[in-house]
Amino acid sequence: MRTPGSIAHLLYPLKKRWYIVVICIAISCVIATRYLYMATPEYQAVATLKIEDSQQGMANSNLYRDFDVFKGNAKVQTEVEVLKSRSLFEKALDRLDFYVEYYQVSELKTEEKYHEAPFRVDFSITDSSFVKQQYKFHYLGGEKFSVVYDFHGTSIEKEGEFGKQICDRGVCITVNKEPNIIKYKTTASLDKNWEFVVYSKNALAAKLQNKDYLVKALDKDVNIIKVYYTHPVAEKASKLVNAVAEAYINQSIVDKQDLAGNTVDFINNQLATVGAELDNARDAIKSYRIKNEIVNISQETEATYKTLGQLEIQKVDINMQLATLEKLSDYLRHNREIKFTGPDLGSIQDGLFTDAVTRLNTKIRERDETIKKYTEESDKVKNIDVDITQQKAFLIESVNNTRRKLLARQDELLLAIDDEKATFNGLPEKESTLQELNRNYFLYEKIYNFLIEKRTEALITRQVDVSFNRVLESAVVPEAQVAPRREVVLGIAAFIGLIMGVILAYARHYAKPRVNTPEDITYNSTIPVIGHIEKMSKGQPAYKNFTALTTRILMNQPQNKSMVVTVTSTLKGEGKSFVAAQLARTLAAQDKKVILVDLNTYAPRMAEWFDVRGIEGMKDVYMQQSSLQNVIQITNIPHLDVITAGNGEQPIGHLIATSRTKDIIDELRLHYDAVIVDTPEVGEYIDAIPFMKWSDLNLYVVKADSDRDQLIANAEMVKEEYRLEEVHFVINAMKEKRNHTGFLSPKKSKSIKSKQNAPQLQNLFMW
């Protein structure tokens, strides 16, 4: 018996119904395999980009350190936002042939075929409001085909010829055959079911730029960005990632060249002004020297010249910064989405620009996504517009604040220059005038040379089509799908099948518990199982089963003492009369003097089974119409006598509980080694209880495949209520083959020797 709460007790339902778990796992795996066949595979391609600081791009050039508009934004997160932008994504799509998608339709799934369709569709959009159109393609033979498409819920079908244009609903399509594919790909037949979808640029970008498009920075401190894209077609995934990377690199080159061109134009304007001033300063010095016959300038004024020169350069630098801010203000007024890859906002000591620009672009993209779901009048769209206006106002205010700071600095420089000039008041008038003229010439010359140098660098930059950003690793066509993962799906399916199998096994165990093996009774009952009888076909001998049962009974009973065994059951049809009769036969065959008492007066069987013709029986004994000696009948089986139930119609249940029963048992003990009493079922009648009370052994017969809870509960109740001793279960008609110890029986040998050594008492146990 298993202890309640033990591991063996808890796992017994699984041990018994393991086949349910196996079946559930098998069914789950079959379903998973079917799902894997029908599911659309997903392939992920990845490209790696390195974002370089522009100062590292030209190690020998001061252009990007000295001139503000060339200093790039080294923040990786900003570049991540640029790569996520809709405009860059659309530029990447312009490099690809994705605007027409081809699908092969089967009964189980629809699969996209890229460069594998037996025809090619060329199209042109004639209406700007066109978004997309899906067509069903049907081959009609020869050069004929038809397309079916839906328009506002109405199905429209049009016939066409290969190579000829079909125009309708804002788009013109031309379908051409692909002879190579038709010839070499047997699966790409025109006769199969095909569909194709034509997209506009906006519609295709909206479809592809989804959760499957990911841009991630490797680390905030590392200038590495990875671009991921997942698509059912592996080739498309790799092509799109590479196109985005290429568009990003080309865009950075174009932006750099545009900025370099603007800088050249600005420097040329400055050179014209400074050149004219330089010529005027040279002419003034020449005229003054000739007029005043001046040859040399005092060396003591050289330090003052240098100081004034530095102040003037600072003033020019501030002028350039003011010019840059002016261009930035103009850029803010005329551009909605702002991407800074040129002006170095850090050089004008206002680091809030970069973050403000990023937030502005984020709000703009958020508005683009929101406008797909809501109208312009929606509160969400209006709130985002308010945020965008505030961000732009913040940027403009920042520019204005910086301009005011630079103007204040300019005023300070002018005052400093005036102070330096005042130092010349103590010099002779001529020397002072000459020094001023020389100073002006020196300053203009230095400014002119500085501008010439910067213009040269800008011209070189405009001609060089090299980006500081580069592709470290291009995307390759992925071979292994990322979803659904076969091993993951099968693992999850097996786990779900295991869980469902366990649940069903326990549900079956507790919802409809049945007796099939001895363990089913010992699982919950305190009544032990003394033996089991296998289910036998007609004519099969019962020698083996009942020999094991009687041996166990005899081994547990005192020697040289007669025993009384009462056989009963809860319900009719459990086989108690059969067990009682066979038990009596087996004991008689073991040289025991046995009497079989048929106390089942409601359904007597023993008279018929043992072919005895006596009229009187147990009813007559209890009714005192006959003595016990007169109702005992001898059978044709040695050592076995029988007392039948009798033929009277008067019930005797009320008489069995009297002392007469005890007297009958005591008298039979004197003459027999074993008294076997067959009683009616205790679930209906109480006749068996007195005999069970005074018996040495009570056998409670349970037929296999019976309701366990009802039988065990009734047997437990009878035992406890009447305080019965030595109650044991006997399982009848058990299908599972067990040996006498209860373990699974070994395979029976079919050899001739086994047949020759078979027990010779088989005929004693056949009806």
Percent of the chain whose pLDDT exceeds 70: 84
pLDDT digit string (tens) for 619-634?
A: 888 888 888 999 999 9
Is 699 a member of any domain? yes
pLDDT digit string (tens) for 237-246?
A: 999 999 999 9
Domain boundary, last residue among 207, 226, 245: 245
Domain boundary, last residue among 212, 245, 278: 245
Token couple for 226: 């990875």
554 with 604, same domain: the answer is yes
User: By mean pLDDT, which of 98-107, 311-320, 351-360 is the weakest?
Assistant: 351-360
Angle value at C-alpha 157, between 153 and 161, nearest 5 degrees: 150
Cα of 173 vs its chain's centroid, Å: 40
Q: pLDDT band for position 159 (50/70/90)?
A: very high
Is 285 a member of any domain? yes
CA atoms within 13 A on the CB side of 51: 27
pLDDT digit string (tens) for 590-630?
A: 999 999 999 998 889 898 889 887 778 888 888 888 889 99
316 with 217, same domain: the answer is no
CB 499 within 8 A of CB 21: no
Structural domain count, the chain: 4
419 with 552, same domain: the answer is no
User: By mean pLDDT, which of 43-57, 374-388, 477-491, 563-577 is the weakest?
Assistant: 43-57
Average pLDDT over the chain, rounded to an integer: 82
Q: What average pLDDT does this structure show over 7-27? A: 84
Q: What average pLDDT does this structure show over 509-528? A: 73
pLDDT digit string (tens) for 323-377?
A: 877 777 777 676 655 554 444 444 555 556 667 767 777 888 888 888 878 888 8
Max Cα distance, the chain (Å): 177
264 with 129, same domain: the answer is no
| DSSP secondary structure letters along 320-342 | HHHHHHHHHHHHHHH-SS---SS
pLDDT digit string (tens) for 624-668?
A: 888 899 999 999 999 999 999 987 777 888 888 888 888 999 999
Range(s) of the domain holding residue 26:
7-39+484-511
Q: pLDDT band for position 759 (50/70/90)?
A: very low
Is 88 a member of any domain? no
Q: What average pLDDT does this structure show over 513-534? A: 77
Domain boundary, last residue among 195, 222, 245: 245
218 with 272, same domain: the answer is no
Is 49 a member of any domain? yes
Q: pLDDT band for position 425 (50/70/90)?
A: low
572 with 684, same domain: the answer is yes
pLDDT digit string (tens) for 712-729?
A: 778 888 888 888 988 999
Is 394 a member of any domain? yes
Beta strands in 329-478 (DSSP E): 470-473
564 with 591, same domain: the answer is yes
620 with 700, same domain: the answer is yes
pLDDT at 614: 73
440 with 494, same domain: the answer is no
**Which residue did the predictor score with more confidence, 296 or 563?**
563
Q: pLDDT band for position 672 (50/70/90)?
A: very high
Q: pLDDT band for position 500 (50/70/90)?
A: very high
**Which residue did the predictor score with more confidence, 100 or 221?**
100
pLDDT digit string (tens) for 215-224?
A: 999 887 788 9
pLDDT at 136: 95
pTM of the complete model = 0.53
Of 230, 214, 208, 222, which Cα lies nearest the Cα of 83? 214
Is 476 a member of any domain? no
146 with 259, same domain: the answer is no
pLDDT over 80 (residue 96) = yes
| CATH number of the domain residue 588 falls in | 3.40.50.300
Is 76 a member of any domain? no
Token couple for 619: 């009813």
50 with 170, same domain: the answer is yes
506 with 522, same domain: the answer is no
pLDDT at 376: 81
pLDDT at 743: 58
- For the stretch 284-293, contacts whose Cβ atoms lie closer than 8 Å and that sit 24 or more positions apart, written own/partner, are 284/437, 284/440, 284/441, 285/434, 285/437, 285/438, 285/441, 288/433, 288/434, 288/437, 289/434, 292/430, 292/434
Q: What average pLDDT does this structure show over 679-691? A: 89
Question: What is the C-alpha separation between 535 and 519, in angstroms, rounded?
Answer: 17
Is 759 a member of any domain? no
Of 727, 719, 734, which Cα lies nearest the Cα of 700? 727
Computed on alpha carbons and rounded to an integer, the radius of gyration of the chain in Å comes to 53
